[in-house]
Amino acid sequence: MGYNLYFSMIVFAVSKEVHEVWLFFSKLSSIINFASASFKRYSELKSTREKEIIDLIALEELETGTGANQVRTLQKAGDTRWSSHFTSVSRFIEMFGATLEVLGKMINDGSSRDMRGEAKSAYREMKSFEFVFILFLLNKTKSLDILNALNYVSSTKRLLQEFQDSGWDDFITSVVSFCEKYDITMLDMSDCYMEGTRRSCQQKNYVTVEHHYHFDVFNVVIDFQLMELNSRFSEQTVELLTLSSALDPVDGFKSFDIDNIFSLAEKFYPHDFTPNEDYLLIDRLICLVLTLSVYTATTERAFSAIKLIKTSLRSKMENEFFFRLYGYLC
């Protein structure tokens, strides 16, 4: 279970509360769907990225080595697969240049007006400062193993707080550098930030562009991340996951600890074991731990798959007849 899963759950929660982040994921999804909608575009993305990697290596801007610089593709952020959000954001930054180039070719060589129009819209979104700003902001959280991360929850919170308090200057510098690399128009941070359709009646107070992105987006996103970390990694949750790690089978049950297993059964499952029972009934404890409702993505995907088979018309069948019909019962 990766820490990027928890990152994506946090991002999912933040996207519901921060309008700019919700809008970003909507745009990102549309761009990825369009840019990789066919095998031809998929192949063009890969070949463009391959050429880009070769050029960067020649310029000594990329290190070489076994397994390094593999050509990957864009990945969609799934509604139920929360961990896909992290991969989608980081992969898009990696494929940013190649995606821009492919969209540019479609604008000039597209076979239909609709296709050229969609390519132009996606290209324009990618070249906007706000899109790049939020892309970089969401990519700031790094991927860690959850069992190792549990020991550093307080450090993670501290680093997030430090990033919020004193990381703005370095962060905006990296955004500006990326914008310059891809010829994206940089906003004048001292200008007045205009909302909506830019009508004067919609503007509340005089707010600069820098104030909006610093306090209304940057700070708000980090505040929600801190809030979600505090919520998801309470002291009780951390203790439960830490004790459960004693059942981790990696490296021949290297983390096996009988005292932690005893504490796990005694503190969290007191009604499932009696004093007369042997606490070495590990199989029962493992079953109990595996039923922890960490997330429901697997269940939701299963129901989504069932809908493909058991349509609204087939739902009128009796269950026994339905399962016999499709070979689920002997």
Report pLDDT for 206: 74
Question: pLDDT digit string (tens) for 112-133?
Answer: 888 889 999 999 999 999 999 9
Question: Where does the pLDDT of residue 221 fall: very low under 50, low under 70, confident under 90, or very high at 90 and above?
Answer: confident
Would you say the C-alpha torsion 147, 149, 151, 154 has a positive or negative sign? Answer: negative
Report pLDDT for 200: 53
Question: pLDDT digit string (tens) for 16-37?
Answer: 667 888 889 889 999 999 988 8
Q: What is the mean pLDDT of residues 180-207?
A: 77
Angle between helices 19-35 and 3-17 (to 10 degrees): 120
Question: pLDDT digit string (tens) for 292-326?
Answer: 655 445 555 665 666 666 666 555 556 565 555 55
CA dihedral 151, 155, 157, 160 (to 10 degrees): -140
Which residue did the predictor score with more confidence, 39 or 64?
Answer: 39
Specify the range with the lowest mean pLDDT, choosing from 92-101, 187-196, 279-288. 279-288
Residue 149's CB: how many other CB atoms inside 10 A? 19
Residue written as token pair 């095998």: 39
CB 91 within 8 A of CB 70: no
pLDDT above 50 for 3: no
Question: pLDDT digit string (tens) for 235-270?
Answer: 777 777 777 777 766 666 777 787 887 788 788 877
Report pLDDT for 109: 80
pTM score over 0.85: no
Instruction: Name the range with the highest mean pLDDT among 88-97, 275-284, 289-298, 308-317.
Output: 88-97
Residue extents of the structural domains in the chain: 2-233, 237-317
Name, in order, each residue with C-beta under 8 angstroms of 127's C-beta and a sequence gap of 6 or more.
100, 182, 183, 184, 185
Q: What is the CA radius of gyration of the chain?
A: 25
Report pLDDT for 154: 72
